[in-house]
Amino acid sequence: DAGVIQSPRHEVTEMGQEVTLRCKPISGHNSLFWYRQTMMRGLELLIYFNNNVPIDDSGMPEDRFSAKMPNASFSTLKIQPSEPRDSAVYFCASSNSDRGTGYTFGSGTRLTVV
Amino acid sequence: QKEVEQDPGPLSVPEGAIVSLNCTYSNSAFQYFMWYRQYSRKGPELLMYTYSSGNKEDGRFTAQVDKSSKYISLFIRDSQPSDSATYLCALYTGGFKTIFGAGTRLFVKA
């Protein structure tokens, strides 16, 4: 099993540009999470999908952020327009547990907005 | 008040030392308690989880939960340089929402 696969690993973009982050969860996992990690705020949950349906997006900071999961093997997180304060490491995680007892995280996308 | 408090460190210890990492929490509704380890430039990986007060042991690692004090700990025996990482506590409230601590950076010196 290749684990949770995220792309790109690094992204540098200019303020105002659109950024799309991609995630392939582990096959058979029915839950998918997008997290953002910064030194100041730690790991923050942005959005959670269950069986491809968004269940909780209360962590999405602004309307500039959107996420989709068109099928069980793919999800995207889009930021449009991007701002310097969006600079962070974005993690995707998947799980087959309904008790939150363990997620498998990808290696993350390090986003820098200049 | 944050739901989960964790000292960010850094914590530096010599090889072979016993390490104690801790978190406190405020919400008594938390049901499951987890510890994740995160190496530099990697995603967090689950180390252990428990759902009751008491101790749970896995090799050199012991997780301890005290629900009455709202306090959880991770002990690492015979620490190794390969244990150098950031350790995050995580608490599950139900409804698929897991709250992570800020993480404690640990350095084990050879």
> Do residue A104 and residue B88 have CB atoms under 8 angstroms apart?
no
Pick from B32, B100, B102: which is nearest to A101 by CB?
A: B32
Query: How confident is the prediction along chain A (114 residues), in pLDDT tens digits per residue?
Result: 689 999 999 999 999 999 999 999 999 999 999 999 998 889 999 999 999 999 989 999 889 999 999 999 999 999 999 999 999 999 999 998 766 667 899 999 999 999
Provide mean pLDDT across the span B38-49. Answer: 94
Q: What is d(CA A8, CA A11) in angstroms, rounded to the nearest whole number?
A: 7
pLDDT at res. A98: 61
pLDDT at res. A44: 92
Least confident of A84-88, A104-108, B35-39, B89-93: B89-93
For tokens 């792309």, the residue is A7
Chain B closest CA to A97's CA: distance in Å?
Answer: 9
Instruction: Count Cβ–Cβ pairs < 8 Å, chain A vs chain B.
Output: 58
Chain B closest CA to A43's CA: distance in Å?
Answer: 6
pLDDT at res. B27: 87
> Do residue B43 and residue A99 have CB atoms under 8 angstroms apart?
no
Chain B closest CA to A68's CA: distance in Å?
Answer: 18
SS3 A26: coil
pLDDT at res. A99: 62
> Do residue B32 and residue A99 have CB atoms under 8 angstroms apart?
yes
Question: CB of A75 within 8 A of CB of A52?
Answer: no
Question: CB of A25 within 8 A of CB of A4?
Answer: yes
Pick from A31, A42, A104: which is nearest to B102 by CB?
A: A42
pLDDT at res. B13: 97
Question: CB of B13 within 8 A of CB of B19?
Answer: yes
B10 burial type by CB count under 10 A (0-12 exposed, 13-18 middle, 19+ buried): exposed
Chain A contact for B28 (CB, 8 A cutoff): no
Tokens of B72: 């959880």
CA distances A88 to A11, A112, B46, B108, Å, are 10, 7, 22, 27
For tokens 């002990």, the residue is B75
**Closest chain B residue to A6 measured between Cα atoms?**
B43
> For A19, phi and psi rounded to 5 degrees?
-125, 135
Tokens of A91: 């993690």
pLDDT at res. A60: 94
For tokens 């960010």, the residue is B8
> Do residue B43 and residue A91 have CB atoms under 8 angstroms apart?
yes
Comparing A61 with B81, which gets the higher pLDDT? B81
- Regarding beta strands B11-14 and B104-109, do their DSSP bridges make them parallel or antiparallel, or are they unpaired? parallel
Provide mean pLDDT across the span B63-70. Answer: 94
Of the pLDDT bands very low, low, confident and very high (cuts 50, 70, 90), residue B93 is: confident
**Closest chain A residue to B50 measured between Cα atoms?**
A101
For tokens 């004090």, the residue is B69
Pick from A31, A43, A110: which is nearest to B96 by CB?
A: A31
Chain A contact for B95 (CB, 8 A cutoff): yes
pLDDT at res. B58: 94
pLDDT at res. A16: 97
Chain A contact for B66 (CB, 8 A cutoff): no
Tokens of B64: 């301890």
pLDDT at res. A96: 86
SS3 B83: helix
Provide mean pLDDT across the span B59-82. Answer: 96
pLDDT at res. B37: 97
SS3 B81: helix
